[in-house]
Chain A
C-alpha cells in the first residue's frame, strides 16, 4: 500500500494503525467522492407486499421473518477509534502548493506588509507544535498542502510583543497576561497556535494545557497533596503528561540549561549539573514524583540568578509562554470527590491552582520574572455557562478600561445569583507593582477586516479549493455572510464545494 503521506512534508510518521475503512457498500457504484446523488441507479425492487387478502390455502397468521445472522467482524482494538477521532492530518497532497508562501520566521513576524497574507508554519516546527497539541482535530488543516495561518492585526501585535521581549531593548523581560475571548470560530485557538509558533522561533519555553477539561472530568488519577493539606490534590499522570509535552517540544532549550538551586523535595534524584531536560524526565519516568518535579522545573525556569554553590555555567532563563485553551472548565466543581464524597472545586487541584495563580501579580518578583506571555483562551463551543466567570471577565475588562473597583459602575455579581467567590477572586488581580509586569487584560477577537478576508480567500483560491473570481464585491458578500469576517465561518464558505450542474 502506498502511504498517503508525503515524506517530504511529514517529519513524523508513526506506523499507521490498521486501516479502518467503512464497510464497502454494494449498492451505489459511483465513486465515493461524488457529492451528487446516484442518478442512474437501478430502481429498487418492490418488496413483495404482505397486505391484501390471503391467497387460497395460505396461512393467515403473521409470519415472522427470520433474521439473517449478521456477520460480526472483530471490533477495533482498544484506543483505535479514539486515535482515529483524534487524528490530526496536516497535509493534503491533492491541494495545490501555494507559490510564494513565506514561512513564519523571526524576521517576518513583525512585518506589517504581510498583514492579510497566509504564513506557513515551518516544517521542522510541526513536531514541536504537535507535541504541545497546538492543532485540534476539527480544524481544517487537512484541506491544504501544508499548514499556515493568516496574519491579522492581533497576530502582528503578538509578533511585535514577542519580538520585543526576546530582543535586547527596553521591552526585554516584560510579561503580559491575557485572556482571549471571542465568538465561535473567531480564531482563539489558532491565535494561541500562532503565539506558540512565534515562541518556538524565538527559543522560548512553552507550557500548554490544550484540554483543561481533561483535568476536571475525573479521567486522570488524583491524590491528596500531603497530609498537612488534605484538601489539595495533585494529578500525577496529567502532570507527567504535561512534562512530557514540554520536554518534547522544548528539548533544544532545556538541554542547554542546568540546575541552579537545591530541590529538597526531590532528595537525591536531582543532582547538581543536571540539565533541565533530565530533571523533567524524572517526572515522566516516575509519575509519582511528577508534581515535585514540575515545581522544581518551574522554579528553575523562573530563576533569575543561581543559588550559592550552583554558579558554574548558569545561563539566563528564556522567556516563557503559557497557554490554556478553554478556561471556563476550571471555574466550577470538578467531577472528583474528596474522601467524604464532597465535590472538589477545580481550584483545589494543584495543577489548576498553579496556572491560575500566575494571573495574580507577583509580590517581590513577577509571575514570569524572565518575561513572557500568559495566554488563556475561553472556548465558545465547549463552554459551561458559569455566571461568576462571566462577571469576572466583565470586571477584567472594566479594570482594563481604568475603572476603579470601588466605582459604582464597576460590574458586580448579583448578590442573589450565588456567584462563586473563588472564581471572582482568582481574576481579581490588582495593578502590578513591578514595572515589567503587565496588568491582566481581556482580549476579544472579532472578525477579520475586508483586506485580511480577501487575503484569506485568495489563499483558498490559490490552493485550488475555490473556483471563484475573488474581487471586492465577492469578498464583501462573504464577509457579511460570515458575520463580519469571523474567520471560522469564512473558512466554511471557502471550503464549501459548489456543485454546478
Chain B
C-alpha cells in the first residue's frame, strides 16, 4: 500500500534509523544517575540531527532534572525495585551484596568463632519489611548476613557492623546467657530430659552405681533389659557406671520414652559433674535431643499418613 511509492521508501528508511538510535540507548546500562543525565541530550540531539542522515551518532548530553520547569507526568518511585513486588527486601539484599562485595577481601573466622547473632526470624522479617518474603530468598539473605558476620571481629568495619545491626532481633536474645549449672552443696547435679511424651529429672551424685527410678530399683521399673541399658548408657559409654548414683524421677509416656528421657537427663546431669565428657557423649549420641513427637492425624487419613483402602467402586 504505502510501500509501493518511492516516497514511501524514503519515509520508511527514516523511521528505521530512528528506531536504531532509540534501541542503542535502551541497551546501554541503566542506572539512576545515567538516566538522570542522559535523556535530555538524546532528545536535543535527535532534534539537532533530525535531518542529518550521514552524520555520526553522538552521545546525548545529560538531562538535568533539577532544571525541569514542570513536574514529570508521573511520580518516579524512589526504589528502582518498586515494581518487583518486594522492593524493600530487594533493596536490602542489593545493599548487603554491595557491602559484601566491598569487604569480601577481609579475613574471616570460622563459623564457630563468629559472635552469635539473633537474626530476624522469617515472620519477624516479613513484618519488618512489610512484604511477603519467600522463605528461600530469606535464607539466602541470612547466608549473606552470616558471611558478613564471619569477618574477623577485630577488623569489622563500622559500615558492616551498622548494616548487620538492622537485621538483629530487638532485645538481644543471646545477651543474657544462663548461668552454667553447678553441683549443689550436697553434691547433686540435676539434669532434665524429654523424649516422646516423657520428661525426666535426674539427680546424680557420686556413688557406686546404684540406679533408682521413681523410688524403685531399675529392675522393677524397666523389666526389659534394653531399656535398662539405654538408661545407663551415658554412664556406660564414659565408663563412669560405678562412680555415680542415679536418682531419677520420670513422668508421662511409655516405657521406652521414659527410659530415653532418663538417658538425656542423665547425660546432662553428668555434664554438670564433668563437662569434659561432652565430645565422648556427643559421639555416643546421648546429648543430641530427639525432638520427634507423635505426628498428628490428618483428616481424610486413617492415621497420620495412612490412607483408607482403595475401593474400586
Chain B interface: which size bin? 10 to 19
Nearest-neighbour CB distance to chain B for A481, whole angstroms, equals 5
By beta carbon, the residue of chain B nearest A473 is B239
The CA of A477 and the CA of B208, in the complex, are separated in Å by: 11
Q: Is the interface of A mostly helix, strand, loop or mixed?
A: helix
Candidates A184, A477, A479, A493; contact of B225 at CB < 8 Å: A493
Are A476's CB and B241's CB within 8 A? yes
Q: B residues within 8 A CB of A482?
A: 219
A484/B210 contact (C-beta < 8 A), A476-B242, A489-B219 known:
yes
A480/B220 contact (C-beta < 8 A), A492-B225, A493-B225 known:
no
Nearest-neighbour CB distance to chain A for B67, whole angstroms, equals 85
Are A483's CB and B218's CB within 8 A? yes
By beta carbon, the residue of chain A nearest B232 is A480
Which of A92-145 touch B at CB < 8 Å? none
Candidates A184, A481, A484, A489; contact of B232 at CB < 8 Å: A481
The CA of A489 and the CA of B211, in the complex, are separated in Å by: 14
The CA of A477 and the CA of B243, in the complex, are separated in Å by: 11
CB of A486 within 8 Å of the partner chain: yes
By beta carbon, the residue of chain B nearest A480 is B209
A481/B217 contact (C-beta < 8 A), A473-B239, A476-B241, A476-B242 known:
no
A477/B241 contact (C-beta < 8 A), A484-B210, A492-B225, A493-B225 known:
yes
Are A483's CB and B209's CB within 8 A? no
Which of B206-226 touch A at CB < 8 Å? 209-211, 217-220, 225
Nearest-neighbour CB distance to chain B for A157, whole angstroms, equals 23
CB of A183 within 8 Å of the partner chain: yes
Q: A residues within 8 A CB of B210?
A: 480, 484
Q: B residues within 8 A CB of A472?
A: 242
CB of B228 within 8 Å of the partner chain: yes
Chain A interface: which size bin? 10 to 19
Q: A residues within 8 A CB of B217?
A: 183, 483-484, 486
Are B225's CB and A481's CB within 8 A? yes
Q: B residues within 8 A CB of A473?
A: 239, 241-242
By beta carbon, the residue of chain A nearest B243 is A476
Are A183's CB and B220's CB within 8 A? yes
Which of B226-263 touch A at CB < 8 Å? 228-229, 232, 236, 239, 241-242
Nearest-neighbour CB distance to chain B for A186, whole angstroms, equals 10
The CA of A493 and the CA of B211, in the complex, are separated in Å by: 17
The CA of A484 and the CA of B228, in the complex, are separated in Å by: 12
Are B242's CB and A483's CB within 8 A? no
Candidates B219, B229, B236, B241; contact of A483 at CB < 8 Å: B219
Q: B residues within 8 A CB of A481?
A: 218, 225, 228-229, 232
Q: A residues within 8 A CB of B232?
A: 477, 480-481
Are A477's CB and B236's CB within 8 A? yes
Candidates B209, B211, B225; contact of A476 at CB < 8 Å: B209
Q: A residues within 8 A CB of B225?
A: 481, 492-493, 496
The CA of A481 and the CA of B225, in the complex, are separated in Å by: 8
Nearest-neighbour CB distance to chain A for B254, whole angstroms, equals 20
By beta carbon, the residue of chain A nearest B231 is A481
Are B239's CB and A483's CB within 8 A? no
The CA of A55 and the CA of B312, in the complex, are separated in Å by: 16
Nearest-neighbour CB distance to chain A for B143, whole angstroms, equals 46
0/1 per residue, B122-154, Cβ < 8 Å to A?
Answer: 000000000000000000000000000000000
Nearest-neighbour CB distance to chain B for A486, whole angstroms, equals 6
Are B211's CB and A480's CB within 8 A? yes
The CA of A184 and the CA of B219, in the complex, are separated in Å by: 9
The CA of A484 and the CA of B220, in the complex, are separated in Å by: 11
0/1 per residue, B178-204, Cβ < 8 Å to A?
Answer: 000000000000000000000000000
Q: A residues within 8 A CB of B229?
A: 481
The CA of A479 and the CA of B232, in the complex, are separated in Å by: 12
Q: B residues within 8 A CB of A484?
A: 210, 217
Q: A residues within 8 A CB of B219?
A: 183-185, 482-483, 486, 489
Nearest-neighbour CB distance to chain A for B241, whole angstroms, equals 5
Q: A residues within 8 A CB of B209?
A: 476, 479-480
B interface with A by C-beta (< 8 Å): 209-211, 217-220, 225, 228-229, 232, 236, 239, 241-242
What are 6 A-B contacts with C-beta separation under 8 Å? Answer: A184-B219, A480-B211, A480-B218, A480-B232, A481-B218, A483-B211
| Interface contacts beyond A472-B242, A482-B219: sample of 9 additional A-B pairs, CB < 8 Å, sorted by A | A183-B220, A184-B219, A185-B219, A473-B239, A479-B209, A480-B210, A480-B242, A483-B219, A486-B219
Across the A-B interface, the 8 shortest Cβ-Cβ residue pairs: A483-B219, A483-B217, A476-B242, A480-B209, A481-B228, A483-B218, A477-B241, A489-B219
A interface with B by C-beta (< 8 Å): 183-185, 472-473, 476-477, 479-484, 486, 489, 492-493, 496
